[in-house]
Amino acid sequence: MKIHILGICGTFMGSLARIARSMGHQVSGADQQVYPPMSDQLGDAGIPLIEGYHAGDLPADCDLVIIGNALSRGNAAVEAVLDRGLSYTSGAQWLAEHALTGKQVLAVAGTHGKTTTSSMLAWILEETGHNPGFLIGGVPANFGISARWSDSPFFVIEADEYDTAFFDKRSKFVHYRPRIQVLNNLEFDHADIFDSIDQIKTQFHHLVRTIPGQGTLIVNRSDAQLAEVLSMGCWSRQLGFGTTDSEWQARFANSEGSALIIRCPDGTEQHVSWSLQGDHNLSNALAAVAAAAAADIDPGEAVQALGTFRGVKRRMELIAEQEGLSVFEDFAHHPTAIRTTISGCRKRAAGHKIIVALEPRSHSMRSGTHADALAPALDEADDIHVLVRPELEWNAHDQLAALGSRLHCHDSIEALQQALLSSAQSRPAMIILMSNGSFDGLPQRLPALLETHCP
């Protein structure tokens, strides 16, 4: 099959392109912004790219056009597909019909932790000899790629609640038909497509409806919103995690959080040391082990695999280190994730000054949907630097005033950069760059700048 993908450089669509290419299909694609690292990954896979969406660039002999959810009516390439009567579909639907059929799909959904939990689960399956296929919305450090096709019966997928395409407004995850489904948590997010948390709960309910009676739901029992979703109807086995009366439980074995203990449903306990931090990652690990056990993976082997799990790029990824100073990049998009990350750093690095640089970039962050929750989320940090762009629809100085003298607002990346270099002089310290965007390349520049200005 000859496939052309519109929106190919997004994480999901680029990963899908690699899978399609690995399956033997001819693949080409176009995107508005063609740049590394995805352009390099696609180039390495032998996938030709076109920059921009032009009607004349659609291959005349393609069998199918896959259209990403970032494209809408009015886009020149989309209009050409419709006018010419070309066959088209969404990425999620193509994946379901061509890659997931016949697989035992293990999916991970939730507002937070999808990428990390999916990565942990894929690594557990890898370490226990199962060579899984996977598609993850990030790059697990153990694999170095975001997607892989294999002949394994197992396929791990990050199940996103974002909508599917301009012609299919259901959440992408309803297409995947998993047999094992993790429900990590549920909060309001994606204010650009959802008006309320009730709309998101409805989509999660639709997901639950697709799980077979012989399938398994791995559910965070401490999440009240998920409890409401399940009260709408559930026809599958449920196994809970996250509370003291859940089948699966976990705790840290020391105050630093560098070792954890997982308690299995039969009462046995598994111990392991690891490199991650924070209560959120403890929960992610517990969900991954429980999902693996539902696929008949020995819990002891699963927990030991976590000891060699190296994390995910841009999820508290260490990008620079000097004496008394560590710099991390974190994919921050929601106050809850910001709060739990900072709290985990506080436990792991007691006595260190915690310096946070925040770029409110997602639609929900820019529009002010989460503005009221941001100051409490940042409260455990010692210094908070916010990049205030013109498109920010709320006043950061006023909204975050409760942070007092710890708050520093900057209207340019240059001013923020200089402030971080100044803050880094006080050590021991930890700098966390928090954004789900590029931060204008700051994470790539800062390590060298620190070497020059703060040797």
pLDDT tens per residue, the chain (455 residues)? 999 999 999 889 999 999 999 999 999 999 997 766 677 788 888 899 999 999 999 998 999 999 999 999 999 999 999 999 999 999 999 999 999 999 999 999 998 889 999 999 999 999 999 999 999 988 898 998 899 999 999 999 999 998 999 999 999 999 999 999 999 999 877 767 788 999 999 999 999 999 999 999 999 999 999 999 999 999 999 999 987 889 999 998 887 788 999 999 999 999 999 888 778 889 999 999 999 999 999 999 999 999 999 888 777 788 888 888 888 888 877 788 888 888 888 877 778 889 999 998 877 777 777 778 888 888 989 999 999 888 888 788 888 888 899 999 999 999 988 888 888 888 898 899 988 777 888 888 888 888 877 76
Q: 383 by DSSP, 3-state: which?
A: strand
Q: Are 368 and 191 in contact (CB under 8 A)?
A: no
Q: Are 27 and 65 within 8 A, CB to CB?
A: no
Q: Which long-range contacts (CB under 8 A, 24 or more apart) does 365-374 make?
A: 365/333, 366/391, 366/392, 366/393, 367/191, 367/192, 367/393, 367/394, 368/393, 368/394, 368/399, 369/188, 369/191, 370/334, 370/335, 371/399, 372/399, 373/335, 373/336, 374/335, 374/338, 374/399, 374/400
Nearest Cα neighbor of 89 from 67, 73, 58 is 67
Instruction: Give residue 186's Cα distance to chain centre.
Output: 14
Residue 154 makes CB contacts below 8 A (sequence gap 6+) with 103, 104, 106, 125, 130, 132, 133, 295
Element (H, E) at 368: none
**H or E element at residue 11:** helix 11-22
300 contact partners, CB below 8 Å, separation of at least 6: 270
Asked if the 317-453 domain carries CATH number 3.90.190.20, the reply is yes
Tokens 């402030």 — which residue? 419
Amino acid at 428: P
Residue for token digits 């700051």?
A: 442
Q: Is there a common fold for 100-306 and 317-453? A: no
- Chain centroid to Cα 160, Å, comes to 9
The pLDDT, as a whole number, for residue 191 is: 67
What is the number of helices (H) and of strands (E) in the chain? 15, 23
CATH number given to 2-90: 3.40.50.720
User: How far is 59 from 62, CA to CA, in rounded Å?
Assistant: 6
Which residue pairs from 80-89 have beta carbons closer than 8 angstroms and sit at least 24 positions apart in sequence? Answer: 80/55, 81/6, 84/58, 86/58, 86/62, 87/63, 88/64, 89/64, 89/65
User: Which residues sit opposite 315 in a β-bridge?
Assistant: 312
Sign (positive or negative) of CA dihedral 233, 122, 35, 386: positive
Instruction: Supply 177's token pair.
Output: 């038909």
Task: Please name which of 210, 182, 67 lies closest in space to residue 117, comparing C-alpha atoms.
Answer: 182
Contact 46, 21 (CB under 8 A): yes
User: From CA 431, how far away is CA 433, in angstroms rounded?
Assistant: 7
Element of type H or E holding 207: helix 197-209
Instruction: Give the CA dihedral 202, 207, 212, 215, nearest 10 degrees.
Output: -110
Segments making up each domain of the chain, as ranges: 2-90, 100-306, 317-453
CATH 3.40.1190.10 is held by the domain 100-306 = yes
d(CA 196, CA 376): 22
pLDDT for the residue 241:
95
